[in-house]
Structure 1
Amino acid sequence: MGHARLSIIDLTTGDQPIANEDEQLHIVVNGEFYDYARYQRELVVRGHRLRTRSDSEILLHLYEEEGTHCLRHLRGEFAFVLWDERNGLVFAARDRFGIKPLYYARWRDTLYLASEAKALFAAGGPARWDHESLYQDLHAILDGDRSLFEGIYQVPPAHYLVASRHHTQIVRYWDLNYPTLDAPPPLRTEAEHVERMRDELREAIRLRLRADVPVGCYVSGGLDSCAILGIAADLRDDPVEAFTIAFEEGPFDEGPIAAEMAAHAGAHFHRFHMPEEMLAQHCADAIAHCEMIHFNANCVAKYLLSEKVRDAGFKVVLTGEGSDEILAGYPPFRRDLLLDDAAADADTTRQRVAALDEANKLYGTFGSGVVGPTLPLEAVERTLGFVPTTLQ
């Protein structure tokens, strides 16, 4: 087991691998477990001896008590591998939303796991394209258990892997279920939902501000990052360090809005200018680090921003990534919602969709944007009852 550590919690005693009291369990963890201090106190009360002050160590002792069911306690962004020496088992898992990557492969009767496909190539695996994966990624979305490389797979988000000498199994441990249209109406009012969302978001930000290194915040003109910066500023006694990208003047530059939000929150504001030629020059670097295909320059911009933030002395930043996905904020999602509104007549629906299109011209085409032959969509319509805008 090997580990290259990014130290955030317990900078002095948290080196990995970490073993339990009798040296029968060993872990390497990429990521962070939130609310770990509460579990540390409870584990000590129950008789466990902690070797470190690291958040990662709680995994060892929760596994001692509950086996793979320990995942129900783990809140955070993580990928880990645990070696259960007594039982001859490998237990590896990935966080609920797949924030941290976890790849695996089996060659010459040996199971390899790593945070990057490049590590598996270094272990002797062949670096070859998986043509089915490329086809999926270019035409729709890549299955959660696949990578772009032949023979290399991913542990999907919210899944764990258990492997013995002769058997490997992938198991889902969590899922997010949206209510169906025929589900009973919610018991809470809209105002109660808003207040509950505020409380949950505030608690999530409070837990993520706990670190033994400085914590900054990415901010743009979006509601997500602005909300996070505002709450973080309210929870801190000192000013938050806020970072943003400034593109060349034009509709894509959200720098002025970010500066206004930073001033409103009393944050120290850092603006990094990124001309288009810089994005072009570093596109290959960003893709090499991400090991996946990207259809716009957002990944490159975030890669360059991360370099700037690291050079400024920050290892940890809070971001609003993922909110548009889970809260259906992207225009194609809203378009599908409008088209499926049974309470609206045809004229009203057309007016609403036209207004949505007009308000989101910068978003570009609402469809998949695939050039060339498109996928047959009859099966999609049979399964879902409609064809999502993103596939049209």
Structure 2
Amino acid sequence: MVYSRKPASSSVWIEPIVLYSEESMQKTPCLVVDPNTNIGHLTFVNESVFGKKIVYGWFDTQAQSPILDYFTIDQGEVSNPSIGLGIDGRPHIAWCKATGLMRAIYYTCAPDWIIEQISSSVKNGIFAPDLVVSPYNGTVAVVWEEKNGSSFDIRCRRKVADVWQPLEWVCQTAEESRHPVITTNAFKDYFYVIWADSTDDYDWEILFSMNDGSGWQSPENLSGFTYAGSKNPQIGFLSNETGVGDMALISYGEGNSDPLLTVNSRYVPVYDIKTVAKFFPVGGGPQAREREPVNVEMCVVSPNPATQVVNTGFSISRDAVVKLVVYDVSGRVIKTILNGYVNAGMHKVIWDKTDDFGRRLPSGVYFVRLETDEFRKTEKAILLR
């Protein structure tokens, strides 16, 4: 498994770096980077003569020679893992697993890594999950393909306030619906899904639906009718400062209508990349919230490195619920320093370098994260013993 990155100040990708090397195949990698810590969270399928397993790992994306710390999440007939980060920095992972002829979607998250089955079990009929976590309120949403008779439909399930909601249909038709991808709005509890849809092997279109809290809307065709077919879409959500007039950038492969290559008298499309900018006048920017926004400032962690205690603190403009948590580099919660209602004003915090069980922590890199409903900031803390 290799990794490369392109710094924001450069147009050149760095030389690829090997993160994971075994005498086996590594498949379907999925990577997300925490912008507050620069920690990359990676999941993929490792396939060897001993079977398949879902691997999760983390590494410092800014290091000259990053080292991947990793462990196995699940094993068996597993496939297509997808990963997202919660507003608290915890990784969430969904994947597909077959038991005999029955297939289902499974889910887990840090720090406990408890595995849950979140879909029905369908005979030879569930594939390609995609997961996103809303930065607005932390809702987890997973979409996937599900077989319905001779066709595949798109289903979704959301986890709201740590409770899984009933299964939802995004699209239920007599046609073939594949490769769903989901994204979300940073300022409202909205979700957007695109997928490829076809009535036969060649004529694929890119369809789109959104859920603004009132249910999934009727699919909209974004690509039009394409004889050669449009497949494998991707979607990314862009917000401006107000959240009004937001854009979704959509890309997909579109086949060339000229049959340049034939295999068994059936042409193989040559794919070009098409990009579509979709305009969403959804509103709901920060200024639309009913309450006055809370102004928060977090103090720098000091001393850093720390050998005795760690000092930090924060100021807050009005009474609010505040959470101050320490994570290790894998995203596990090590210490919950504060989680409750505080009064407006300046608050000084001293952390004694212990975990939630009172044990002194080993030397290493940790992350102190301050959160309110409208504010999040993370400071790196280096502990020395």
Shared fold, TM over 0.5: no
Going by fraction, where is strand more abundant, 1 or 2?
2
| TM-score bucket (shorter structure) | under 0.3
**Which structure shows the bigger proportion of residues in helix conformation?**
1
Q: Larger RCO: Structure 1 or Structure 2 (Cα < 8 Å, ≥ 6 residues apart)? A: 1
TM-score by length of structure 2 reads 0.26
TM-score normalized by the length of structure 1: 0.26
